[in-house]
Structure 1
């Protein structure tokens, strides 16, 4: 991992398999990822895309699945053209979801170029994890 790290964490009162379902089910993901449609088969090496609209602009973010350990770990790259940066390896982030203990979920994002960028990402991921918690505890 390079640059500044953004980390968000939450304790969830639901079994790990329910949290895993929220993190990998396309219908659940649409709610978590700000209305974007998430497409992947969750196989290591497979592509992952997020297609949607942000502030009136259509977008398609992309990445690649790096690691999958059901109920424990999900790791993938993420690039958004909305950043205005070129689609180059140095502009991708790695997002890592780790489930541990009595369903403690941690999300980290690497490759933030400044502390402010990491702080902004952390706030966004804290919002996303709050939605994971809400969805997982609802059932």
Structure 2
């Protein structure tokens, strides 16, 4: 079966450390994470962003909506974590590359940010969810860019 990933890249006129802060600090990521709520409760990500540490997508009232674990981390360069809706009865098996991956490559004060999300092929209606996620990242990446460039 063909793997289904969202794979998008954006160039940001800011150092990788600024982009990293937008991605990982709850006060910052709440501004872009709300795009994933699809009209539902707004939420943000909380984690220590250390290897194997939990990642929680929390609503404004502190309710955990999505959870996962950090599976790869290299500050200012790479962050990968799994993503599971807490309402799912069983979690699918994941490979090392599954989840959301941020890759940051800095050159001369500019950062190329790549996001990979998937593998959606393991899900029923995976193509639908892959396409829906791609549309959300189309909104998220420009917000991350704006925030990193303004700070």
Which residue does the alignment assign to 1:73?
78
In the TM superposition, what whole-angstrom CA distance separates every residue of 1:31-82 from its partner, at most 9, and x where no partner exists?
A: 11103132211110111101127xxxx7610000111111110000001246
Compute the displacement of 1:91 (Å).
Answer: 7.8
Cα gap change, 1:71/1:122 in structure 2, threshold over 3 Å: closer, same or farther?
same
In the TM superposition, what whole-angstrom CA distance separates every residue of 1:63-105 from its partner, at most 9, and x where no partner exists?
A: 00111111110000001246xx433134895110001143110
Following superposition, which runs of at least 4 residues in structure 1 exceed 6 angstroms of deviation? none
TM-score (normalised: structure 1): 0.84
Tell me the secondary structure at the aligned position of residue 89 of structure 2. coil
1:95 matched to 2:100: yes
Number of residue pairs the alignment of both structures matches: 132
Which residue does the alignment assign to 1:126?
138
TM-score (normalised: structure 2): 0.77
Contact 2:56 2:64 in 1 (8 A): no
Structure number with the higher strand fraction is 1
Structure 1 gaps of 5+ residues are: none
